Amino acid sequence: MYATTLRCVFCGTDYPLTHRGSCTLCARPGEENALHETLGVQYDLAALKRQLDREELARRPAGLWRYHELLPVVDPTFRIDLGAGGTRLVRLTRIPEAVAGSRLLMKVEGSNPSGSFKDRPIGVAASVALEQGARGLACLTSGNIGSAMAAFAAKAGVSSLVLLLGAAGLADQEASVNVEKYVQISAYGAEVVTPMGNLGQLYALADRIEAELGWSFLHNVQAYQTDGDKTTAFEICEQLGWQAPAAVFVPTGTGTNLFGLWQGFVLFKELGFIDTLPRMYAVQPMGAASLVAAWEAHQAIPSVLERIEPNLAPPISHRVSGYHAYKAMQESGGGAVAVADADMFAAMKDLASYEGIYAEMASAAALAGIRSALALDLLETEEIRQGSIVGILTSHGLKNSLALTQIFPPQTKVEGTLEALHSYLELKKVELQK
């Protein structure tokens, strides 16, 4: 066991590994603010250096548990193995930027077992929760966390309860539940309910369920979720030949993934596995961009937005992101960019139609964010051409297809003859290849 403590990145307080919830000195219960997310897992670096080297890691099978010394689960029998991780890092070749000479790379997280990157953080957090004695697993989610948790609970043979909200971090604003995710979570066998009430109320409800029924709410083991996210950074470094990229663009809601990635790069550098660190950029939808507002106004701690404007990326629409992500952005010399619905839609279409990668709109925000950074001159021409700009495509497009039915009209029916097809294509000015 190499994990030692949980440490608050804001005030530096250490907590035992069994601590639940946020830093008790920084976060007030029931109040929404950036300091609810500040804890990260610390490791015994000296022991890890003696135990682990790049050659040893390179010999192991791909996936989350390849990095087990760098994860907090002690007893291997508690590692739930769904085959998460080991996703492709794809170089884009056909989008206009690629044709013009930019070398952009995408980490395709939608190919994880439940269709999103959440299989990494939830795989680790669920394993820790069960190792610490949880009787069942529970979460508050707009979908992807719920899908991942229900899948891991199924594999582990434990019950799961999903409190499904319309949009991540929103309980009291009107937003409909994502149907595809509801069906997916239900298929895994989880109990799914949509509770009424504001977030403060729901967190209080979660605490009571946890205390009285012994079920573990995964937001109370947040630090272990970010630990699972580290593995994305580890894989990127290995896939780049033991090098860190120059910049990483992360679609950002709570900020857990961005902070986890940053922790992963830092840990690999501390272990001597890579020489440099990347700049971390948060990408957020316009109208739900607390980190962008905080960065531009040089806030010490990101403020909570009054309300969130409806947009095409509910999974990353939060009133406020975690301070841990804000700190990672700043420490790394990165930043934050906001993207419009039209930018995310164009990025989603381009990834699918040029590159054959169908990503959820909130994921395509990564490419939209890179484009925005290019337009704002945040990236150096040299690093763009060297191919070390990485976007994290967090989830699969099938997660949110129904929401796009208003954008893509219903399919046309034509007579099943070549003549009829020709006239239809003529009408659409599409040439049939001979």
Member of 17, 23, 347, 370 binding Zn ion (CB under 5 A): 23
Please work out the total of residues on this chain that contact Zn ion, with binding judged by CB under 5 A: 6
Compare residues 315 and 322 and give the one whose CB is closer to Zn ion: 322
Q: Is residue 240 within 8 Å of 383, Cβ to Cβ?
A: no
Please list every residue from 73 through 132 that binds Zn ion, using CB under 5 A.
none
When the beta carbons of 184 and 222 are compared against Zn ion, the nearer one is 222
Q: Which residues lie closer than 8 Å to 344 by C-beta, 6 or more apart?
A: 285, 312, 313, 361, 362, 364, 365, 368
11 binds Zn ion (CB under 5 A): yes
Residue 274 engages Zn ion in binding (rule: CB under 5 A): no
Q: For residues 25 and 187, which CB has a smaller minimum distance to Zn ion in the complex?
A: 25
In the complex, minimum distance from the CB of residue 38 to Zn ion, in angstroms, rounded to a whole number: 5
Mask for 24-53, x = binds Zn ion (CB under 5 A)? -xx---------------------------
Stretch that binds Zn ion, among 17-25, 44-52, 210-218, 234-242 (CB under 5 A): 17-25
Name, in order, each residue with C-beta under 8 angstroms of 339's C-beta and a sequence gap of 6 or more. Answer: 283, 284, 285, 286, 347, 365, 368, 369, 372
| CB nearer to Zn ion: pick between 23 and 292 | 23
Question: Interior CA angle at 327 toward 34 and 338, to 5°?
Answer: 75
323 binds Zn ion (CB under 5 A): no
Q: Which stretch binds Zn ion (CB under 5 A): 5-13, 50-58, 207-215, 216-224?
A: 5-13
Closer CB to Zn ion, residue 118 or residue 327?
A: 327
| CA atoms of 144 and 218, how far apart (whole Å) | 13
CB atoms within 10 A of CB 340: 15
Give 14 or 415: the residue with its C-beta nearer to Zn ion.
Answer: 14
Question: CB of 67 within 8 A of CB of 231?
Answer: yes
Q: What CA–CA distance (Å, rounded) separates 291 from 390?
A: 20
Does 163 sit near Zn ion (CB under 5 A)? no
Whether the Cβ atoms of residue 148 and residue 227 lie closer than 8 Å to each other:
no
Closer to Zn ion by Cβ: residue 23 or 313 = 23
Per CB under 5 A, the list member of 3, 6, 7, 10 interacting with Zn ion is 10
DSSP 132: T
Query: At closest approach, how far in Å is the CB of 299 from Zn ion?
Result: 17
Calculate ∠ Cα 45-390-70, nearest 5°.
20
| Residues 66, 60: Cα–Cα separation, whole Å | 6
Q: Judged by CB under 5 A, does residue 15 bind Zn ion? A: no
Can you give the binding site for Zn ion, defined by CB under 5 A? 8, 10-11, 23, 25-26
